[in-house]
A = this chain, B = another copy of it.
Amino acid sequence: MTQAPSISVGIVGGTGYTGVELLRLLSQHPNVRLHAITSRSENGMPVAQMFPNLRGHVDLRFQTPEQADLRHCDVVFFATPHGVAMREARSLLDQGVRIIDLAADFRLQDTTAFEHWYNMPHSCPDILAQAAYGLVECNRPAISAARVIGNPGCYPTTVLLGLAPLLQSTRPLIDTDHLIADCKSGVSGAGRKAEVGMLYAEAGDNFKAYGVAGHRHQAEIDEQLRRLAGGRDVGLTFIPHLVPMIRGMFSTLYARILPEARDVDFQALFEAHYANEPFVDVMPAGSQPETRSVRGANRLRMAVHRQKDQLVILVVQDNLVKGASGQAVQNMNLLFGLPETAGLAHVALLP
């Protein structure tokens, strides 16, 4: 029996929800050794004291970056606010450490858009230029060769995977000027930040839209839609909503079928497109996916419906897993030549 390769992993940040979720996944990954986790503000605190679900599973304490000495890692995950990874990327890369950033620093090639939405200049456009957009199902070759991966946002993951089979088709199928993404997210998408609007007493028993005038993920979605469409501009109206649930994301995508594509079997098209993807589940015709069917699992499920010339794609994922930390581990697996499913075989928790 050969020894499984052991990857030394560091986590920068880690006091938020993507951080604790990375720890849940990595602490049981057969090929991973957790080297260190950093947080200046929580320096010295056992991780399991902040996140008691990790008691008995993770013995690390938060360290300062200096103590952590991440240069000895094979890969470092940034589970930090936007702007941190790009500051620290170069010195790690110089040591041969690979980087997977769960924030937005390496998602948008359009630095003007980045600066507009994230209110900061991009500090390393040269590194950004080499970074791969970490949506594995659409970008495998680039990711496996990359040194820096920009892990996709949660909304973009659902919208892009839901529309990819339509946009990547060789013949035109839909009106790409007037797509609609009506998206709904659980509250954990807002992160573990003290904000009045995310209190249980505010977000509970309530439903609302937000960011209607413009949401950061729009730029990321637009850039990637254009790529999927072979460089053509794609017009998308994107309306995010907040659901009183902890985890889960549901995107209802509307596309108008072109007159010349009315004969297409869209169910078959989607099934064929994702036939070999372990983490994308095209459900049988007529299905109505539920977010809980992927709670805690690195899986995205979708169903294809049609009403006359209107195509309706329903997509669900766990925003913290396939929409964040699970996808990051999937990227790591690809990067290090492991089976993509290594450490990611969890069955969703239902009920």
* Docked CA distance A295–B208 (Å): 13
- Residue A252 lies at the interface, judged by CB distance under 8 Å to chain B: yes
Task: Indicate if the CB atoms of B182 and A252 lie closer than 8 Å.
Answer: yes
A299 within 8 A of B: yes
Whether the pair A250, B209 counts as a contact (CB closer than 8 A) is yes
Contact: B51 with A350, CB < 8 Å?
A: yes
CB of A91 closer than 8 Å to a CB of B: no
Residue from A55, A295, A316 with most neighbouring chain B CB atoms (10 Å): A55
A53 touches B291 (CB 8 A): no
Known: A254-B237, A288-B210, A291-B206. A199 touches B198 (CB 8 A): yes
Q: How many copies of this protein are present in the complex?
A: 4
Q: Are B290 and A237 in contact (CB under 8 A)?
A: no
Q: Which A residues between 266 and 302 are near B, CB-CB below 8 angstroms?
A: 281, 283, 286, 288-297, 299, 301
Are A349 and B245 in contact (CB-based, < 8 A)? Answer: no
Chain A contacts with B in 191-250, Cβ cutoff 8 A: 192-196, 198-210, 212-213, 235, 237, 239, 241, 243-248, 250
**Set of chain B residues within 8 Å of A289, measured between Cβ atoms:** 52, 208-209
Which stretch of A20-28, A60-68, A114-122, A136-144 is in the interface? A20-28
Q: Are A194 and B199 closer than 8 Å at their CB atoms?
A: yes
Q: Provide the residues of chain B in CB contact with A129, threshold 8 Å.
A: none
Give A194 to B291 CA distance when docked, in angstroms.
21
Q: Knowing A194-B195, A201-B246, A312-B237, say if A350 contacts B53 (CB, 8 Å).
A: yes
A336 to chain B, nearest CB (A): 22
Q: Pick from A190, A201, A301, A316 the residue with the most CB of B within 10 Å.
A: A201
Docked CA distance A180–B299 (Å)? 28
Shortest distance from the beta carbon of A156 to any chain B beta carbon, whole Å:
18
Q: Which residue of B lies closest to A24 (CB)?
A: B347
- Note all chain B residues with C-beta closer than 8 A to A203: 200
